[in-house]
Every structure is written in structure tokens, then in C-alpha cells.
Structure 1
Amino acid sequence: MLVAAGALLLAGGGLAAVATTALAGNSDPNAEAGHQRTTLATTISCPDVGDRLRQVPSGARLQVSKGLAALDRQVATAYEQMSGSQGNKVLSNDVLSRLKQQRSKTIGTMANAIARNAKRPTYLMAMSGCTTKPTGDRLNAAGQTGSQYGTKSTNDGWGQSPSQDPAQGGDPSQQGQSQVPGQSQDPNQGQSQGQQGGPSPDDFADINTVQPNAGDPPFAAPQGSGASTGTFTSECGRNEDGHFNSDNVIVTPGVSNGAHHTHDYVGNKSTDANSNDQSLAASDTTCTNGDLSTYYWPVLRKLDGTSENTPGAGHDGNNGSVLTPASVTIQYRGSQAGAVRAMPQDLRIITGDAKALTNGTANANASWSCTGFENRQLKDKYPLCPQGSQVVRTFAFQNCWDGRNTDSANHRTHVAFSDRNGQCPQGFTAIPQLVERLTYDVPQGDSFAVDSFPEQLHKPVTDHGDFINVMPTDLMNKAVDCINRGQKCT
């Protein structure tokens, strides 16, 4: 049983730590009899206001968008301040107190905007307080989250330890936008010195130790007499044009740097914070079949010590060189239960949770693997692939729609996943399932990380994908026809 004994922070900021005592042998002559001291990394945990939103009138959307972006900035700033408090518990408490005051004011402004045209969301006011909690990463004597990897993984194949939820210990409280993933050693050595600000070597697992686990949908395509077994593929390139920004037009429209991490785009060429349905429909596309849809995800970076102090990059704790995918596959699949219907124009879907470390894994949907091993999928670990094998990220999007809304206040409740038999929840209907597969050539070892919010520490469980359907109606109808007829089309 671990008992918190006090707080300390790494010199120079970036990753908070908490000193703890653990029942153990008397191995440390300076420790109390029967106890030895260990150190755990911590992060800030705050309730996710955006996830709790249930109604946002059109007149309040910009104010709510600005409020959500402000809440993220406040947590990032508090994280930075906490990192600079040099273990002073009083100062740390002051940081949390100021953060609560800031969040209370911002949430109140959002609630007032909503209340002009809808019922005031008073439940949001209870979400201003934040805490610090351990991440589960142990720090070594040098104050780093460095531990040698390469030992047999204890995860159950989905990357989740049977004894610990990866999201435990991340409760949204405090960490700021300072330190970025630190440098790893010579990548050819396959061993890291440990990172400040994440990821930890504990976030990596040798793919050879993972048991096969991907026999069920969405990784197994629908099959059988009742299934819609066709596929429709849009060939949209690998973002060779360099379409990047740190906006998120779905969650924080109208706000620059609303994501605090850099997004990689294929498809629609114009997507940024100020895009709307009309501008997206008028844009050009990188897709060869005329698909105007927007497909985006956080970039993957090589931890090579490079840094660019710009929004979404070093300014927000995301350092290293951006890796261009070796391949990007955009494919739509059918349903195990039967025919699918067309997606509505302008449908927005987010899969996964960018704040899964602190929110918990209810909405997490990360899947990591290696080429040649894709029957083994990791949820909360980055894969360590053998020589010649590429890292694979897979995003399988929600495949059921409520039949009415192209978006929802929290960007989740209008869509859902079917069960393993393809049955949608009551009131939902099957739509083509978007499955994105990205491959990367990365250096050997724990030498890469996905961009994240600063307090999420670049954890692999936070990986996520975003999609806006801007496929011309005729093309969507062609896709649905191909899928329902069991054909393979592009």
C-alpha cells in the first residue's frame, strides 16, 4: 500500500513527482525500519467539462469553444507552474487554488452563454476543482521515468495491465505546457535515458510478448451470409503537402491552437479552426476519387532532441521531428448485422480520447501494433517492433448513428459502436465504419511519441482520430452500394 509522503518536482520542470513509502524489506539503511522510499511521477487531473456538455445552442457555440480552449490553457499553465514550484507543497496548493478560481470563472461564462437559449447547466459548476495524482510511472534515482524495457510485458495483450487501469493515477489536475518528451539515447541501443514530460519507457512493450487478440471486429472485417462484406477505399496520400495545424475544428471551432498539439491532415485541403460546412464543401482534396472529407490525427514524432517553439509543437510540450507516415489507408467497411445506410453530409466523429490518461478509458480507442503482427493490438503501450517491421496505428470509428444529428454537444452521443455481432444500440442505425491504418518507419527503441496535451504525458492511450464527412452524395451512395453488395471499390 502506498501512502503519499510529500511532493517534489524535477529540476527544470516538466514532470511532477510524489515521494511515497511502501511496505518492503529493510533494504535501505536510511529508511525507516520496514519501509523504503520510492518515487512516482504525477500529473494534474481536472474534470473534463467538454465531455459533460449535453446542450450547446448555436448562439453559444463560439463562447463555449473559447471556454474549452481557455480551460486547456489554464491546466497547461498550472502544470508549468507546478513544475517550477520545486516541491514546495504550499506553493503547489496555491497553484491548484488559483487554477480552481480560473476554471470557476471560465465555466461560469460558458454556463451563462448556454443559459441565454437553454437551461443553465449548473452541474458544470462542480467541475472547477483539480487534483494531482500519480501516473503509475516510477522515477529512478536520477528523477526520470527511466526504466529498462525489454523485459516480458505483463499486459494482457490489449496493453492493459491486469492489476492497473492505465488511467488510474491520471486525474485532471495539474501540469503545464513545459517539458516535452526528452531525448532518448542512441536509438540503435534500444534503451532510453528516461523522459521528462513523457513518455516513459514503461509506455513501450515488445510486440513479441503480446498475445494475439484482434480476431474480433473492428479488426476482423464483417463476414458471413448476413453481413455487408464490401469495402470502399479513398486514396488520399500521406500528407505529402504538409497540411499541419494545432487547431481542432470539431471541438474548438474558431479558436487557433485549440488542440495544443499538432494534427496531421489528409483529404480536405482547407481544414483549420475557421472551417465550416460551406468552406469544406468548396475546398480541394488530396483524395483521388473526389472525397472532400477531412481526416486528421495527432502527429507522431521522432524523439531526436529537435525543438520548434511554435504552437502545437515545443510551445505546448511536443518536441521532436514530425514523422510522415509510410502509408495511410482510408477504408469504409460494412456491418456484421446487415446492410449499412449512407452517412449524412457534414457528420462529425471523434474516436478515442485525447485526455484518456486523466479521464479514464471509457472513450479510449487507441490501437498500436507492428506490421507482421497486426493480430496483436496494444491499447496503452507503444509497440517495440523488430527490425524491418513498421509501427502501425489503427483508428476504427463508431459505426452507428442516431439518425438525426450530425454532431452533439460533447461530440460523442450522436454516434456509437455496435456490439461484436454488428447490432447497434436502440435508436441507432448502422453506417459504413471508417477504419484508418497508418504505418511509420521509426528508429529502434523507445524513440517516438504521439503529440498530446501537456498533462497527458504523451501516453499512447491518448491517441485519437477525427473525421468530418464531406464526401459528395453520389460518392457516398457508391460507397454504400459497394459495401452492401460485397464489392471492393475505390
Structure 2
Amino acid sequence: MGRNTRKRRTPLATKIVAGAAALAVGGGGLVWANFYASAHEDHGGHNRTRSAGAQVATIDCPDVGQKIRDVPDRARGEVDGELATMDSQITNAYQRLATTRRAQAGDSQFVQNSILGPLKDRRKAIIDRIQLEINRAGGKADDNLDELAGCQGRPADQQNGGGQNGGGQDDGQNGDGQNGDGQNGGGQDGDGQNQDDNGNGVAGPVADDFVDINDVQPNSRNSRNGLAANGDGGSTGTFTTDCGVNENNLFNSDNLIAAPGVDNGAHHTHDYVGNQDNDAFSSDEDLANADTSCQNQGDKSTYYWPVLRLQDGTQEFDANDQGGGAEGNIGKILKPAQAELKFVGSQQGDVVAMPKFLRIITGDAKSFTNGDANANTSWSCSGFEDRQVTDKYPLCPEGSQVLRTTNFQSCWDGQNIDSANHRDHMAFVQEDGSCPEGFQAIPQLQVRLAYDIPTPTVENGQVQNPYAVDSFPEQLHKPITDHNDFINVMDEDLMNEVVDCINRGEDCQ
């Protein structure tokens, strides 16, 4: 499978992270797992073995980007670039965490002194530059951003409940910790098989990231985000656009919305349908003049999401590249068998047209460390659509497809096509289907992706041939990090047709 990109791509920090793909030495794999030394802890019915200083699995950093507000337009590009550099710093620190287990085992302060301390200093320098850039452009930077410089290590069984202190909150499940057998953390010594990497040499997924769909209670998903906007009242029509399933093999690890102008800004690979000129360097003019994979040629919108991969040993085109194997995203890329892109209306009344080049990010690629405030993940199986999960990958019965569904924010502030943190200009509908004060209803994009995936098997606490969503390395391929992105590049006539169809209560395409 090849990659179709518009511009030549230059790898960033190749030497720093390339070793991650080759860490499976002595049976150890990419040793990220927490290693427990002593003292039993009984939690949630499982006898856990852990120490007070359990070795950390990943790095938890406050998300500076989500805290930034009121960035002047002329400083946006510089600020986004600085935030992308900060993401690269976390990636590099995580790789150092994963490749220094022997040193960590011999020095209880190694992680703090050699990884987290220097990382804090580097983040502080970037935050200072961000503040300077905002102030120079006529804005007023938040003086408290410095408080977000420090990061903490987190054992694998701690899930952040939404706080930024890095301590995390145990979610009452085993998390990632399949170890529990008193291994001493000498993963690079080759003295024992690491029990948490499934022999793949990457940090996840693990057995506890999967659930049999039959064990999920119907209608049990509790998410404050992603409510369907349409209902029996209001504007009840739909508009479906058919843009294929990336038959043109358009892949890259950029993120035009969150990291414009930054190569490998996502640190994971995206699937693209619709607009065919979508990378970090695409301007609005480029998008408007591009080809589209949509059947309706008036829809040049870009729709993209992180790829799913089957960790079966396949060497993909990006096996040694940034965003791919060099950052722990390995295995066979799985295209959806079907990608349904549908726009629906509002429960409370008519919808208005989206502005051209409106950008929407839904979900949070860093939900494992950020907490679930912006998570908008829904996993299920065909034939079991009333059973939805946010923090597990479903194990589907034979003949059933894995489903990823996303309901985007559908309330717009009426003024901006983007915002400093790429979120504040949009909002989800409230419980009654109405928009918050100051926002107005636009057509809600609903994305339903169906995949034909052989069901992984879970035996003896390990999952064989798992599938997983691509992620930032430190997010450990957690299912809750799934997310979806959209830029509206419909021409005016088509957007008006979408709005009229929805407001008339018709089903159009």
C-alpha cells in the first residue's frame, strides 16, 4: 500500500525515535509496562502486585493547546507550530522512557532527573515563546500557562479522570497491567518476556483494552459528548455524501487543522476521503482547487480519521517512517469496508449553512492522559448497535463488522471558522437538542465506519493479533483516543441544497 501525498515530506527527529521500531530484543519488546515489585493490593476483585514507586508506563503532560484562548489571528500559525514542537518533545521523552528501563531499574530518580526534569525545562521555554508571540500580536497571554510545564509519569493502570496533575485516577479496571508477576523491569536485558506488549514490540493495545460485545449492556454508554442532533421534531431531513473509502491511498501523519505547516504534526497516520490535496501545507485555496473523491463534485470537503491497524506483522509503507512504525504505529492498515458520511438536522428547528472552510475536530487524540472531557468515541459491532463502548475495542462475533461512529459538534458560534484551541467556536447540542446560548445549529456530520476485521483472541491475559487505532506514542493505542476531523469545502450551491433538504425533512444525497 503506497502513500499519495502532494509535497515531499521531511522526517523530523528521525534518529531520536527510529529506534522504537527495533526494540524487540531478547523477547522484551518495547518495554513500557509497569513492573511491580512488592506489596499486594486488592482492587476491583483482582489481586494486584505493585510497589509505591511502580515503574511508569507513559508520560502525562497537561495539554497546553486546549488551555489557550484569544490568540490573535496573526499569531495563530506561530502558536500552532510551537504546540506541535511540544508534542514532539513529549514523543521524544516517551521514547527515552521506553528505552532506558535498565537505567531506571538501578536509579529510582532516573525518570525524574533525566526525562521529566529536562522535559519541563523545554516545555517552559516553549510556553514563554507562546506568551511572547501572543503579546507581540496584540493579545494578552495567560500568565498561568507556566503552571502547565511540568509532566508526570503514570503507571499503566491509572486513567486520568480529567485532571491535569498526572496522578491519574484508577478506573476500577486492570488498565494495561497484565504483568503482576514481579518482573524487575530489566526489559532490555532480555531476561524475560514482557507480558504487556503481546510480542509486538509496541505499547498496546493489551487484553484489557478489549471487551466481548455480548458483555456490553445495551444503552449503557454514558458520554456527555456526541449526542445525535436530530430527532422527531425540528429539521428532520438528512443529506448523505458518498466519498469512498480512500481508494486513492491518501495517507499522511499531518494534521492540517491542529498543526498547519508542520510535517508529522499528528504523530500517527490518517485516512483521507473527499479532498485529495490535504496535508499540513494545504491552503484554503489549495483545498478549493483540489480534486475530490466524493461522487458529488461540489463536495471538496476533507474528512479524515486515524487509521486502524491489524498488528499481524505486516510491514506497511510507513513501517520505518515518522507517524508509522518509528512511533509505534505498526501493522496492516485497515481501510473501512464502508464509510457513511451523513448530515442531519436539529431537534429544535431549522439549521443554517456552514461557512466555507469551517474546521471541526471531534474527540481527543490525547484522551488517555487528558481525561475524557473531550472524548467522543463510540465503538460497536454491526447487529449490536445498541451496545456502544468508549474505552474498549469490541470483540465482534463472526460475520459482524467493527463499527466506529462519531457525531460531530453541530452548534457554531456564528462568526469563526476556527479558534485558538480549535474547539471554542463549536459546541455540542444540549440534552434537549438545543444549542448553547450564542450558538446556532448547523447540519451535524455523522460518520459511520465499518470494518471487516478478524476477531482477536484473548488467552492467558494476552491478546493475539489485536487491532488498534493509530495514536500519539504516549497514548498507548487506547480506544478512547479515537477522533475525527472535518473541513467544509462544499460549494455554496451544494451547502444550500444540504440545508434546504434537511429543513424540508427530506432524505437526499
TM-score (norm 2): 0.79
> Does 2:323 correspond to 1:324?
no
Cα deviations across residues 349-392 of structure 1 (Å, max 9, x unaligned)? 00000000000000000110011111111100000000010100
Query: Which of residues 312, 317, 324 in structure 2 aligns to 1:313?
Result: 324
Matches within 5 A, 1:317-396: 317-396=328-407
- Is residue 313 of structure 2 the alignment partner of residue 292 of structure 1? no
Note the C-alpha offset of 1:62: 2.5
- Deviation, 1:104, is 1.0
Summarize deviations over 1:171-204 as a string: whole Å, max 9, x none: xxxxxxx9xxxx999xxxxx96687411111010
- 1:106 corresponds in structure 2 to 126
1:408 and 2:408 correspond: no
Compared with structure 1, are the counterparts of its residues 48 and 109 closer, same or farther at alpha carbon in structure 2 (3 Å cutoff)? same
- What residue number does 1:4 align with? none
Q: Is the 8 A contact 2:311 2:331 kept in 1?
A: yes
Instruction: Identify if the C-alpha distance between structure 1 residues 24 and 220 changes in structure 2 by more than 3 Å, giving closer, same or farther.
Output: closer
Distance 2:321 2:143 in 1: 37
Aligned to 2:164: none
Structure 2 Cα separation of the partners of residues 36 and 405 of structure 1 = 51
- Per-residue CA deviations over 1:229-277 (Å, capped at 9, x if unaligned) read 1100110000000010000010010000000000100000100001121
Q: Could you tell me which residue of structure 2 aligns to residue 397 of structure 1?
A: 408
Query: 1:483 aligned to 2:489?
Result: no
Equivalent-residue separation in structure 2 for 1:184 and 1:436 (angstroms): 37
Candidates 147, 158, 161, aligned match of 1:126: 147
Residue 467 of structure 1 corresponds to 486
Q: Distance in 1 between matches of 2:423 and 2:354?
A: 15
Bigger Cα displacement from structure 2, 119-128 vs 433-442: 119-128
Relative distance call for 1:161 and 1:338 in structure 2 (3 A) is farther
Distance 1:184 1:378, change over 3 A: farther
Q: Secondary structure at the match of 1:392?
A: strand
CA gap of 1:268–1:71, structure 2 versus 1, over 3 A, is: same
CA apart distance, 1:12: 5.4
From 64, 71, 78, the equivalent of 2:79 is: 64
Q: 1:223 to 1:66 in 2, by over 3 A?
A: closer
- Counterpart secondary structure, 1:129: coil
CA contact (8 A) 1:396 1:433 kept: yes
Identity level (%): 53
Shift of 1:111: 1.6
**Match of 2:64, as an amino acid?**
V
Q: Residues 227 and 428 of structure 2 are in contact (CA less than 8 Å); yes or no, is this contact kept in structure 1?
A: no
> Per-residue displacement from partner, 1:300-321 (whole Å, max 9, x unpaired)?
0011123411121011110011
Task: Name 2:3's counterpart in structure 1.
Answer: none
Q: Is the 8 A contact 2:227 2:429 kept in 1?
A: no
Relative to 1, partners in 2 of residues 1:24 and 1:316: Cα closer, same or farther, differing over 3 Å? closer
Report the more deviating stretch, 449-458 or 298-307: 298-307
Distance 1:435 1:67 in 2: 32
User: 2:206 is matched with which residue?
Assistant: 200
CA distance in 1, matches of 2:252, 2:346: 34
Q: Deviations over 1:69-117 (max 9, x none)?
A: 1111111111111222222322211211111111111221222111101
Check the 8 A contact 1:330/1:436 in 2, yes or no.
yes
Q: Tell me the matched-pair count.
A: 432
The answer to whether structure 1 residue 232 and structure 2 residue 239 are counterparts is yes
Gaps of at least 5 residues in structure 2 are 1-26, 160-168, 177-187, 457-462
Q: CA 1:422–1:273 in structure 2 vs 1: closer, same or farther (change >3 Å)? A: same
2:34 maps to 17
List aligned pairs for 1:113-192, cutoff 5 A: 113-117=133-137, 118-136=139-157, 163=172
Structure 2 matches for 1:262-281, cutoff 5 A?
A: 262-281=269-288
Q: Given the alignment of the two structures, is residue 209 of structure 1 paired with residue 215 of structure 2, yes or no?
A: yes
**How large is the Cα RMSD of the aligned pairs?**
3.0
Aligned residue in 2 for 1:44: 59
Equivalent residue of 1:365, what SS? coil
- Of the structure 1 ranges 117-126 and 432-441, higher mean CA displacement relative to structure 2 is found in 117-126
Structure 1 position 37, deviation (Å):
4.4
CA pair 247-196 structure 1, distance change in 2 beyond 3 A: closer
Residue in 2 aligned with 1:457?
Answer: 476
The offset of 1:430, in angstroms, is 0.8
Q: Deviations over 1:392-420 (max 9, x none)?
A: 00111001111111111001111101123
1:74 and 2:89 aligned: yes
Q: 1:327 to 1:214 in 2, by over 3 A?
A: farther
- Residue 259, structure 1, aligned to residue 266, structure 2: yes
What is the SS of the residue equivalent to 2:320?
coil
User: Cα offset for 1:486?
Assistant: 0.8
1:425 aligns with 2:436: yes
Change (3 A) 1:340 1:440: same
Quickly say closer, same or farther: Cα 1:255–1:24, change in 2 above 3 A. closer
Q: Which amino acid aligns with 2:99?
A: G
Q: What is the CA-CA distance between 1:215 and the residue it aligns to?
A: 9.7
